[in-house]
A and B are shown apart, each in its own frame.
Chain A
Amino acid sequence: MPQIEVRGLAKTFRVAERLPGLAGAFRGLFHRRMRDVHALGGVDFDIERGELVGYIGPNGAGKSTTIKILAGILNPTAGTCRVDGLTPWRDRRRHVSRIGVVFGQRTQLWWDLPVIESFELLKDIYRVPAAVYRDNRDRLIALMDLEPLLDVPVRQLSLGQRMRSDLAAALLHGPRLLFLDEPTIGLDAVSKLAIRDFVRELNREAQVTVVLTTHDMDDIEALCERVMVIGNGRILVDGSVDGLRRRVRNERVLVVDYDSADDALGIEAEGEGVRLVERDASRVRIAFDPDRLPAATLIGQLLAQGTPHDLFIEHPPIEQTVAELYAEHDMRER
C-alpha cells in the first residue's frame, strides 16, 4: 500500500470581493460578494514509502494548498487522502505526531529562545522518550553542523543557519515522512548544497519519504527521481525528471568547437528534427531530436564537413523546460 494515497482532492476557497472605492467599501458592510477560487480541482497521486518527490508549479498553482491538506491543517472541499492509513485532517493529532513539516518561508522554532531550548520544547511537545531524543538530537546536530548555533536565539540566526535548525527541529521526533515547502528559498549556494546533501542522505540512508516543493529546478535535478507538476489546480505531469524533459520538447543541443571561426563558417546541418541554433565565432550549436536523428548520424555528418576541436551534448536546462510547460498550459500566476 502506498504511504500517501490521494484521490480526487479538491479545494475551493470562498473569498470576499470588495468593490473599489469608498462606496464599494460601504456596500461591503452590508452585502459581501463572494467569489469561489478553485485552488485544487481534483488531484490524484500515490507516493510510496522511501520516495523523494519534487512537487513544482507556478505561484498560486496549488502546491501549498496540497501540502497543507496532507499535513492536516487544511480541510479539502472534496476527495480523499490517506497517509499511513490516517486521514490527515480527521486524525490530526495522531497524524502530525508522525510527520515532519518545514516551511521555508517561516520558522517553526521559538523566535526568542536559543535553538537548543526549542529542541527541548519540541521533545516535550512530541513526547519523545529521553533516550530516543538524545540519539536523534546528537545525530542531527552532527549532520547539520549545529553545535555552534545551539545557544543562539533563533532571531539572531542567518537564513541558512535557521533553515538547518528548522530541518533538524522537524526531525527530532523521528518522522517517517517529511514535507519540505520551499526549503532553499533565499539561501546562498553553500547553504543550498548543505540542505540538499542532508535531504538526500536522509532519504537514502534513513529511508524517510520526502515531498519537496520548490521553485529552484536545481533542487529538483539534484534530488528528485520523480517530479509532479501542478498547474491551475491539476497535476499535469507526474514522472521522472527525464520524462518531463521529453514530454515538453525532446531536444538536445550538440555543441561543436572548431579551431577557428573560418572553419565553423561553412558547417551546415540537415535532416528531420535538426536545426542550427547558433553560430558564434568558432562555436556551432545544433539542436536535434535524438529519436528522429541519432546523435551518431549527426556527428558523422559534421565530421564529413571538417574536423572539430571538441564537441559535447547539452540537455536543455530544466528551468526552460518547465517554463515552456507552464506556457503550454497557459499557467500564469493568478
Chain B
Amino acid sequence: MSDAIRPFLAVVSARYRTLLQYRAAAFAGFATQLFWGAIRLMILAAFFAAATEPQPMNLTEVVAYVWLGQALLGMLPWNVDADFREQVRDGTVAYDLLRPLDLYSYWFGRTLAFRVAAPTLRGVPMVLFSMVLLPIVGLGDWALTPPASAFALAGFVASLVVAAMLATAVTLLAHISLLWTISGIGMDRILTVLVTVFSGLIVPLPLFPDWLQPFLNWQPFRGLADVPYRIYSGNIPAAEIGGELLFVLVWTIALVLLGRLILLRGVRRMVVQGG
C-alpha cells in the first residue's frame, strides 16, 4: 500500500516545495487579496445595513465567509498551472508517459500541490491579519471570529481536505482539456467566472435569490468555498455537516471519474499524434 502511493506523495511534495519558492508572488497576492477583502466587506456591510428583512446569514458569519475566502482564494480552481500549459504547448507533456505511473494519479499529485501551495503561503498571514491584528487596531467588528465550536472546526478542516480534492479534480479537468485547446486562455476565463460565482466567492451563496437556491444547492462548486466557510461559522449546523461532506465527496468522485474518462481519450490522441 505504502509502495503504491509513494510516487504520488513524492510528486506532491516536490511540486509543493518548488512552488513555495515564489515568495514575492505570495506577498503581492496577499496585498491584493487584503484589498479585495476590504472592498467585499464594505459592499456586504452596506447591503446588510439597507436590508429590511432578516437574512439567511448574519453579518458575523458573512465577515468570516469573506476572510476565509480571501485566505483560501488560491485553492479555488480558477486557473490552470502555467507550467502545465507550457508543457502541453511544446509537446513535452508526452514525456510524462515515460514514468511508470498511472497518468491521472501523477497529474492529480502535481495539480494538488499547485492548488495547495498558494493558500499555505497566503492563507496563514491572512488569518493572522484578520483574526489577530484587526481587533488590536480597534476594528474588531470586521475581524474573523474563531470557529463556532470545536466540532465546527473539525468539520471545517475535513471539508477543506475534501474541497482541496474537488478543486484539484476541477483544475485537472481544465488541464486535460488543454490537450485539445492548447492555449488554455479561454479555459481560464470560463473557469474564473464559473468558480468565483458558484463557489460563493463573489456573493455568499445563501444571499442569492430564493428561486436560484435549488440549483445552487446541487452544483459542485459550492463544495469549494460555501460549504467549508459556513461550517466554520456555524451557519451550517453540526447535524448537517456529515451530509454536506458526503455531498462534496460524491461530486469529487464523479469529477475524478469524468477526468479519467476524458484523459483516456486525450492519451489516445497523444500517443497517436505524438504530443
Contact = CB atoms under 8 A, between A and B. Distances in A.
Given A124-B6, A125-B7, A126-B100, A75 B14 contact: no
B29 to A, nearest CB: 19
B101 A68 contact: no
B274 A68 contact: yes
A108 B98 contact: yes
Contacts of B271: 73-75, 89
A127 B99 CA distance: 11
Interface stretch (A93-101, A223-231, A240-248, A264-272): A93-101
A112 B98 contact: no
Interface in A79-98: 89, 92-94, 96-97
B116 to A, nearest CB: 17
Interface in A235-265: none
Given A113-B14, A124-B6, A93 B101 contact: yes
Interface stretch (B89-97, B205-213, B229-237): B89-97
A121 interface: yes
Contacts of A101: 98
Contact of B10 (A14, A75, A108, A124): A124
A124 B94 contact: no
B95 A127 contact: no
Interface in A125-161: 125-127
Q: Which of B6, B21, B94, B95 has the most CB of A within 10 A?
A: B95
B273 interface: yes
A38 to B, nearest CB: 14
Contact of B101 (A65, A72, A125): A125
B11 interface: yes
A112 B9 CA distance: 18
A192 B6 CA distance: 36
Interface residues of A, number: 29
A29 to B, nearest CB: 15
A31 B79 CA distance: 32
B17 interface: yes
Given A13-B273, A74-B274, A124-B7, A96 B99 contact: yes
Interface in B9-58: 9-11, 14, 17-18, 21
A127 B97 contact: no
Given A108-B95, A125-B7, A127-B7, A94 B100 contact: yes
Given A96-B100, A113-B14, A125-B100, A73 B94 contact: yes
A97 B21 CA distance: 31
A127 B3 contact: yes
A198 interface: no
Interface in A97-130: 97, 101, 103, 106, 108, 110, 112-113, 117, 120-121, 124-127
A286 interface: no
A210 interface: no
B97 A92 contact: yes
A117 B270 CA distance: 29
B10 A121 contact: yes
Interface string B78-106: 00000000000000101101111110000
A71 interface: yes
B118 to A, nearest CB: 16
A4 B2 CA distance: 33
A127 B14 contact: no
B102 A93 contact: yes
Nearest to A72: B97
A68 B92 CA distance: 12
A113 B13 CA distance: 12
Given A124-B6, A127-B7, A97 B14 contact: no
Contacts of A113: 14, 17-18
Nearest to A94: B100
B98 A71 contact: yes
B272 interface: yes
Interface of B: 3, 6-7, 9-11, 14, 17-18, 21, 92, 94-95, 97-102, 270-275
Shortest Cβ-Cβ A-B pairs, 7 listed: A124-B10, A97-B100, A73-B97, A125-B7, A112-B18, A75-B271, A93-B100
Interface of A: 13-14, 65, 68, 71-75, 89, 92-94, 96-97, 101, 103, 106, 108, 110, 112-113, 117, 120-121, 124-127
5 contacts: A73-B94, A75-B272, A94-B100, A125-B10, A125-B11
